[in-house]
Chain A
Amino acid sequence: MNGVAWGGIYALIALGYTMVYGVLKLINFAHGEVYMVGAMTGYYAAHWLGVAGAPSLTGLVLTLGASMIACALLAALIERVAYRPLRSAPRLAPLITAIGVSLLLQNLGQIVFGADPKFFPTLIESRNVFEMGGLSVSNVQLTVLGTALALMAGLELVVMRTRFGRAIRAVSFDAPAAALMGVPVDRVILGTFVVGAMLAAAAGVLVGLTNPKIEPLMGVLPGLKAFVAAVLGGIGNIPGAMVGGILLGVIETLVSGYLSSTYRDAIAFVLLIVILLYRPTGLFGVSQTEKV
């Protein structure tokens, strides 16, 4: 069950990777750090809003909202400064700035937030709501999963039913053609970054609920694994990222439970390699024929 909760978190981060890759063909390596900033601002927001001491649902919603807004602004700033000027540059240039931004946020994070781990305030009183055999489900896990699923459903709605969503799909299908049809490509890309960052921020707050220890380097490994999850589902493919995230969370937990926890981190990458070799475009990917 813990695996499913982690899976929801991976899925939320993976969505940001996959959406940005969809519109820009860019692996946004700074995305894991946005998730870290999400957890950190969640921590400060909870204290500042005074909801840290008194667990309540409104407290959780307020914290989520605050950290999502903060990360949306951050992502807009990153996109504007580090990625947009390189739109016509060689494809590897923005990848390097992405690595640069990632390093910058990690190190700035250590100065601004302090390098020591912090403990995320309890926003929900933990108790087991369901127990059967070896399986126990806590309300925290349910909240995490519920919130993650709600956000994903919201995203699906935005992408499939709104003008903005249609614009995202148009840009990821064929950006120059979309521009010719009057889609404001730059604004759509900015919007994609913002939406992705909001989901990552939510993931940061949710992770604070299940694993309260947060620190400035916490984004590195989950960021990388969420990226694996995105590839697992077929990068650029939104439902694929959701399924890939949850699958990865479950498999990881099963492996650390039944085999050995030292292999927990390895399994994600082994899985990645197997998937890439047998189905390079991911579980839901459509392979593209190369035109000469």
Chain B
Amino acid sequence: MSRSGWITVAACALVLLALDVLLPRVLNPYYATIVIRIGIAVIAAVSLQLVNGFTGQFSIGHAGFMAVGAYVSAAFSVYVGAGWLEAFAAVLPGPLARVAYYPMALAAGGVAAAVAGLVVGIPALRLRGDYLAIATLGFAEVIRIAILNVDAVGGARGFSVAAADHPGADLRFEGFGTVYAVALVTIVVISRLVYSSGGLSFRAVREDEVAAASIGVPATRVKVEAFVVASFFAGVAGALFAHSEGYVHTNSFAFLRSFELVVFVVLGGLGSITGAVLAAAVLTAAPELLRGLGEWRMVLYSLLLIVTMLVRPQGLLGTRELGFDWLRRRLG
């Protein structure tokens, strides 16, 4: 990453810290929830961008991996983690105990989703184009329905992220800091990945798989790598979702959710990380901001979607990135 890139990251981290302290004081819980959801949407969208935008594969089943992450981390927290959190809380002050615990819950979700990504990816990525898209959609639905039939995580009743036998462990969190720190890490990791020299192989596969393979890029391996990394972050996003909402239901991860993520990525511009961030933020906030319109809100939202796509078929940013370099060029 360039120097200005690191400056961006540092600036973001500072803003983050300020937000974490400030926001809970000035925002009411409703807006706070929306801000957290935006962060989660950003993580999921940026991770999908790696597969759809940079590697040129077309997955429309990303919500399936969010579901795996959400449910595994929730189950981990409820059945195992609650005891640990209580133990941590006994020796550490409250916030610190949670800081020590959350990475574990998130990693559990992320790793589980990455494994699912590997299992799905190896057979599915042999397929190309629309067939791959359909297969990912199928896998996501199968994952969702399978979870629906597991009684240990509530089945059709949904699953509450609360451990009855450990009253001292509050598994939920409301912090912006956690969500946005993870979002920042996601953005940095994925942009470092795709804009590094090794990351050229992702874009080579996107531009022409056959040509890439012929000059020695292990195309299938590159695709599976992209898929596994993307699934990991989708799983982390799911884990964050489960712990911030305090309740998960498979309905949250139906194919509409997958479509929504695809919309973020395409609308933001395939192959633009900042585009995905922008689209995820705007489109997550839009339905809430339009709430005053009552039942017409989703109608307007979908019209907005259609019109934006008609006006800018290449997405809001195309393949460009926003950042200091871009600003400097603009300002001369």
Chain A positions within 8 Å of B, measured between CB atoms, are 21, 25, 27, 29, 82, 85-86, 89-90, 92-93, 95-97, 99-101, 103-104, 106-108, 110-111, 224, 227-228, 231, 235, 262-263, 265-266, 269-270, 272-273, 276-277, 280-281, 290, 292
Contacts and interface: CB of A to CB of B under 8 A. Distances in A.
B135 A104 contact: no
Contacts of B241: none
B302 A103 contact: yes
Contacts of A292: 210-211
Interface in B224-269: 255, 259, 262-263, 266-267
B309 interface: yes
B38 interface: no
B241 to A, nearest CB: 21
A160 B261 CA distance: 40
A25 B133 CA distance: 13
Nearest to A231: B134
Contacts of A228: 134, 138
Interface string B125-146: 0110011011101110110011
Interface stretch (B28-36, B109-117, B199-207, B291-299): B291-299
A96 B309 contact: yes
12 contacts: A86-B309, A86-B313, A90-B270, A93-B309, A99-B305, A100-B309, A106-B298, A107-B298, A228-B138, A231-B134, A235-B130, A269-B142
A82 B133 contact: no
Given A276-B127, A292-B210, A82 B306 contact: yes
Nearest to B294: A111
B266 A85 contact: no
Interface residues of B, number: 41
A281 B135 CA distance: 12
> Could you tell me the dominant secondary structure of chain A's interface residues?
helix
B141 A266 contact: yes
Contacts of A235: 130
A90 B318 CA distance: 11
Contact of B305 (A27, A103, A262): A103
A239 B314 CA distance: 35
Nearest to B141: A269
B176 interface: no
Given A99-B305, A270-B142, 8 more contacts: A82-B306, A96-B309, A97-B310, A227-B134, A228-B134, A266-B142, A269-B141, A273-B135
Contacts of A21: 130
A244 to B, nearest CB: 13
A103 B301 contact: yes
B13 interface: no
B123 interface: yes
A101 B266 contact: no
Given A89-B313, A235-B130, A270-B142, A99 B259 contact: yes
Contacts of B267: 96
Given A90-B270, A101-B302, A96 B262 contact: yes
Contact of B313 (A90, A101, A227, A263): A90
A246 B131 CA distance: 21
A138 B138 CA distance: 33
Contacts of A85: 310
B148 interface: yes
Given A96-B266, A96-B305, A290-B210, A280 B130 contact: no
By CB atoms of chain A within 10 A, which of B133, B138, B296 has the most?
A: B138
Contacts of A103: 298, 301-302, 305
B149 interface: yes
Contacts of A265: 141, 145
B266 to A, nearest CB: 5
Contacts of B266: 92-93, 95-96
Contacts of B134: 27, 227-228, 231, 272, 276
A100 B263 CA distance: 9
B158 to A, nearest CB: 15
